[in-house]
Chains A and B, each alone.
Chain A
Amino acid sequence: MNSIISENLLRKLARTPRWQIVYNRGKEINLNLFENTSDFSQIQILFLNYLEHISSLYLDLAMGEELLCEETINDWLRSESYLLHKRNKKSEEKLVGANKAKPSSDRILFI
């Protein structure tokens, strides 16, 4: 075993169809991914993050997200950038929604 694990290798393993299928099916039927069901190690936690990250990218791709393609998913920097863009867009939308829902000061006066 190497003394240093590269995150690239973890991501590569998380992208394999076997792990993606196990992860997605596991969520549906409550399947255990590891022999331990709690008290996860750091490497297991990181791997679970990568499984979720890649699974959500494939879901967006299937939904026809135009800023995504297979090359983006296989390129860590590009997929990270895509998710950052998605997060920013979501918080902007939330902010707009919150502003719309806010009662105006005039209405408060009448109440």
Chain B
Amino acid sequence: MEIVKNVREEEAKKITTALQNSEDLAELDEMLKNNYVEWKDGAETYKVRKPNHDERKELRMEKIKYHNELRNNPNWKYEQQIILEYANKGIDIADMINKQLAINGQIEEVQLQLAQFGAEKEADNKVIFELKNKIYNLMVERNGISLEKSNLLVDSIEQELLMMINTYTAYLVLEKKVKDKWVRVFKSYKEFMDSDNESLLEKTGSYLGMLIFRTNIKDE
């Protein structure tokens, strides 16, 4: 009886996963159709799109303005300055970058070994599995170093500017439909930054991550 129950649960799980996959594929298919995303939230219809020429120009000017502000503030430092400061404390970020490059080389070496296996023979399966495992482990090691490096440099001028570019772009291209016309949701960047509509901001960020910044498209 227990076995029958387990088999049923397993089958139900498989069907649910298959359905989820086909739903995800259909949604993805829909999203690829155009270079903007539209969604409904209650009575409102929202949209995010790529910035046009004038908006890109505005973004550039704002970025220059903010960069000057940060440059003249002694509390903010460039990545290179932070790297030097860490080096004095015995934390070698340059070495982390070299390690990442070395791992890339190692990954390519294993990939070239893996490429030698054509039409699968039963006997090859174990070697293929081991080589793939080796690559995954190297990738995990590389990603770990990358994360550690990013955490150390998170308060740099470069990272702050990147954050500003992302949020300012979101402010510029987030629109809602008002009487068949698309209008900006927020009147100013300040209003956007002060907004507590977390769900709207989160969705906007996610979609822009797919449309422009490629931050919300992840490899497993």
Contacts and interface: CB of A to CB of B under 8 A. Distances in A.
Contacts of A41: 35-36, 50, 210-212
Nearest to A43: B210
A80 B136 CA distance: 13
Contact of B119 (A16, A35, A69): A69
Pick from A4, A12, A43, A47 the residue with the most CB of B within 10 Å: A43
Contacts of A71: 119-120
Contacts of B202: 3
A84 B29 CA distance: 29
B217 A43 contact: yes
Given A34-B32, A41-B211, A42-B211, A5 B112 contact: no
B114 A81 contact: yes
B4 interface: no
Contact of A4 (B27, B37, B216): B216
Contact of A88 (B33, B34, B36, B112): B112
B39 interface: yes
Interface residues of B, number: 43
Interface residues of A, number: 39
A67 to B, nearest CB: 4
Q: Chain B binding site: helix, strand, loop or mixed by DSSP?
A: helix
B118 A67 contact: yes
B25 A7 contact: no
B132 A4 contact: no
Contacts of B32: 13, 34, 43-44, 47
B104 to A, nearest CB: 12
A16 B111 CA distance: 25
A10 B118 contact: no
A12 B35 contact: no
Contacts of A36: 34-35
B219 A8 contact: yes
A60 to B, nearest CB: 11
Contacts of A9: 21, 24-25, 28
B126 interface: no
Contacts of A47: 32
B28 A5 contact: yes
B213 interface: yes
A81 B108 CA distance: 8
Interface of B: 21, 24-25, 27-29, 31-37, 39, 50, 108, 111-112, 114-120, 128, 132, 135, 202-203, 206-207, 209-214, 216-220
Interface of A: 1-10, 12-13, 16, 34-36, 39-44, 46-47, 65-69, 71-72, 77-78, 80-82, 84-85, 88
